Every structure is written in C-alpha cells, then in structure tokens.
Amino acid sequence: MESEPLMLAFCCHYCAYAAADLAGSMRLQYPSNVRVLRLPCTGKLEVNYLMTAFEHGIDGVIVAGCLEGGCHFLEGNLRARKRVERAKKLLAEIGLEPERVEMFNLSSAEGIRFAEIVTEMSQRVARLGPSPLRPDHETVHRNIQQMTDQAEAALRGAKHDCCRSQECA
C-alpha cells in the first residue's frame, strides 16, 4: 500500500469518463490506485486543480479529454493541454518531476485505451517513486478514513441527496 502510487484522473464526461465506464463493462484490468474525477469537459480543468492535487501528496495525475477536433465544446481539450503544459513548467520550477502529470486524448469507445493509459501512467509514476510531498503512511490512512466516514455519514442522512450535492456528487 505504501509504495503504490496514488493517482488522480480528470476525465471528460463525453469521452474518457465513458471510456472508463466501458473498461469496467468489458471487465478490463487496470491498476486500482487511480481515482477518477469527472469534468463536464477538460476545458473545465484549471492549473490550480493540478497544483492542489500535488500539494496534497498525489503522486501522478492523468488528464483525459476527447480526441483533438472532437471536443463537445470545440476546443476545451486543446485548452486543457496548454494548462497541463503550464502545470509541468510550474512543477519543474518547484522541483517535482513534470512527468507526473500528462494529458491524453481518447474517445468514449476506447475502453481498452483507457486501461492502457492508466497502466502506462501508473508504471511511469511508480518508476519516479512516491511524491516527496506525500504525507506519511498514517496521514494517508487517516485522510482515507475521514473521507470514508464522511461518505457513510452522508449516506445515513436521509435528507441529503448525494447525487445532487455539489460536495459529493
């Protein structure tokens, strides 16, 4: 657990998120250490999202948007690529490896490609080693426990509609 990289995947609703869903339907195997976050478009991604993720000790980040020319909002994926490039420059200035974040393009039909991307990035980040900003093992577990407790509390609250809540949807 301690040496397993912690990964985030910012996925576009129209392609990569559907591809991840397809990968699941196809029973494809890929590393379980990636947490998928859905965006309405990768154009929603801000450099701050990436910086905050690394500040909290994430080891690697995947940004997965539509194929170039295929963005539902015309050029959100092209903007995301530029923001990823900017984040790479900032990481280099900070002293973290820019390879820890990467932009990928795929379509919603590419479940196999999604599994490949996660595997490829997971291997790359494992080679780089854990982020030097990663909290110690106990803190990671404490954070996970807190998140689990919050999720369970939310589920117990009958009035709280998780699917509609901005915080937990």
Interface segment toward another protein; rule CB under 8 A; list 52-60, 99-107, 120-128, 158-166: 52-60
CB of 47 to another protein, least distance (A): 5
Integer Cα distance of 58 and 74 in angstroms? 30
Residue 36 sits in the site that holds another protein (CB under 8 A): no
**Which of residues 36, 90, 126, 128 is near another protein by CB under 8 A?**
90
Subset of residues 105 to 164 that bind another protein, contact rule: CB under 8 A: 132-133
- Of the pair 3, 95, the CB lying nearest another protein is at 95
- Of the pair 55, 68, the CB lying nearest another protein is at 55
The answer to whether 11 and 64 have CB atoms below 8 angstroms apart is: yes
**Which of residues 93, 156, 159, 166 is near another protein by CB under 8 A?**
93
The DSSP element (H or E) to which 156 belongs, if any, is helix 137-156
Integer Cα distance of 160 and 148 in angstroms? 16
- Of the pair 60, 111, the CB lying nearest another protein is at 60
CB of 116 to another protein, least distance (A): 30
CB burial readout 40-53, b (16+ within 10 A) else e: ebbbbbeeebbeeb
Integer Cα distance of 55 and 105 in angstroms? 25
Integer Cα distance of 32 and 87 in angstroms? 25
Per CB under 8 A, residues contacting another protein are 46-48, 51-52, 54-55, 90, 93-96, 132-133
